[in-house]
Every structure is written in C-alpha cells, then in structure tokens.
Structure 1
Amino acid sequence: MKKKIKVLISACLLGDNVKYSGGNNLTPELVTLLEKYEVKTIKICPECFGGLEIPRVPSEILGDKVFSKDGKDITEEFLKGAEKSYIISKKNKIDFAILKERSPSCGSSFIYDGSFSGKVIQGKGFTARKLSKENIIIFSEENLEEIEKYLEKLSK
C-alpha cells in the first residue's frame, strides 16, 4: 500500500478564518491539487498557537522582532507559535509544508518590511525560519507548479 503524503499547511489557505482580519486566504487551486493527490493535511496557524486573537492587529517583522501595527512587541507569541508548529510537524512526520507567503509567521520567500506600508521584501516569517532550520521543505501557495512536481515525485 502506498504511503499517504502528509503536508503541514497554513489553515487560512484551506479556508479557516484565522487571518488577522478574521478572514481567510482560501486557495481553491491548491485545495484541488491536494485532493488530486489525496494528501493528508495537518492545519496550523502559528499566530493562534502563540495565543494571538482573531481578529488581531496586523503585525510585521522589523529586524529580529515582530511588532503589531500599534507598536506592541509580540515576538514571544510568534516564537511560541513557530515552536508549536514545528512540534506538530515532527509528531505527524510531515513530508513538507505549504505556508502563506508574506505572513510574518509563514512567509517562506517574502515578508512585509515592517513599515506597514505594503512594501514587500525578501525574507522568512518566524515559523518558516524554524521549519527551514529543521530541514523541512517549504512551498508557498504561489508555487502550485512546484508543489505538483513534488507531489508527483513523492507519490511514485
């Protein structure tokens, strides 16, 4: 019997209303792709794991810290959420992760610059940093072709 592919995924991408605004980032093409390969999804929201509320004040990374738009240092909550996400990934023996690009937790290639002006820079969110450090392969919802190639490889 073929092994079930397990993917750690940002819950907002599957339609869970866990975004700072109380909404989600449902990505139908991603859902369809995961269903095609009968992937077992393990949903995470590092910011919720860190104890932050829904809705919450938007936050961005500035240097080595995370600040909410009202100036509060919420780095500890982000570190806690990253650690809990990593523990869940290990416990579930995931094959890889799909994380929300530009998020201060989940951005795997790009994040906002910390000025709350909408400017995007290269960088990783706190959870993406932690998972990368632990050699977990990360894709974003913006890399559907790469995800499909990887799923194809894993399902052989």
Structure 2
Amino acid sequence: MEQNTNEEVVLVSACLLGQPVRYNGGGCADPALVLALAETEVIPVCPEHLGGLLTPRLPAELQGSDGAAVLNGCARVCDLSGADVSAAYVAGAHAVLALAQQHGATRAVLKQNSPSCGCGQVYDGGFHNRMVAGDGVTTALLRRHGIKVESR
C-alpha cells in the first residue's frame, strides 16, 4: 500500500493481508481490515519470519505464562515437538519494534491468539485449543514501547 502522509502508520500482521506466512502455510485475509486501512500507510509484519522461522512450521504456544514473561526470561515459546523457539519469537518481536520505530508507527493490528501477535488471549501451551488471558511476545514488546495493539 502506498504511503499517505496525512494518515498514521499502522503495522499489520502479514497473514491478515492474505500473505501465506502462517505456521500452516496459509494466510487469513481480512478484507474488511484491508478496506478500513485503504488510505493508511500499512507496514506488513510477520514476527515469526522476521525472527528466522520458516513457513510452514510446527504450531507453537506460550508455556509458563504470556509474552511479557517470555521477554523477561520467565516463560518460553515451544513448538509441537517440544523445541524451545523462544529466541526466534523474541528476535522477531524486536525486528517488528524496529520497523515501528523506523516508520513512526503508533498502532498495530495483529493476528489474534498467536504466540507472537495475540492480544488479550493466547493458547495455554498444552496444544488442546484452550485459551488463557495474556499477550503474545510481539504484542507485549510493542505495548512496552507505547504502541497501541489490537487484534483481529
């Protein structure tokens, strides 16, 4: 999308824009979001890709708490095989923050429930489709830096 200097800059999960970057190789385009942001400078982001993870990849969930705890070293992100992928999630969160700062973004619209992008609720870490209160790693970092985050 083209830059419009009269509008704010918004980070948007690349999957919500239809890019096939989700763990399963799919996207989850949100046409209403795209339409709502038509006159806005949008910066597509995928924290997992920016952190070095590939698509497709095993699903991952937060274990031990939420994204803020991962940033503090008190919890982790593990994939379905049990591998700790926290470092990639933290690196991706910092890359997204750097993009926000570079482009002057003050708002982000991120994919709900994700261990990176979840806002207000995330999967509980047991891979049983149960939700708990909390934010993903990227959401937690952006909020720490005063960036407003909402999920879709």
TM-score in terms of structure 2 length: 0.89
What is the match of residue 127 of structure 1? 138
Gaps of 5+ in 1: 142-156
Q: Does 1:73 align with 2:115?
A: no
Give the Cα–Cα distance (whole angstroms) in 2 for the partners of residues 25 and 135 of structure 1: 27
Rg bigger for which structure? 1
Amino acid at match of 2:56: P
The runs of 5 or more residues in structure 2 that have no matched partner are 65-74
2:31 to 15, 28, 31: 28
CA distance in 2, matches of 1:70, 1:85: 26
Q: Is the counterpart of residue 91 in structure 1 residue 102 in structure 2? A: yes
SS of the counterpart of 1:139? strand
What is the count of residue pairs matched by the alignment? 139
Aligned to 1:53: 54
Match of 2:17 among 5, 14, 17: 14
With the length of structure 1 as denominator, give the TM-score of the two structures. 0.86
Coordinate RMSD, CA, aligned = 1.2
Which 4+ runs in 1 deviate beyond 6 A? none
Greater fraction of residues in helix: 1
Distance 1:105 1:43 in 2: 14
AA of the residue aligned to 1:31:
V
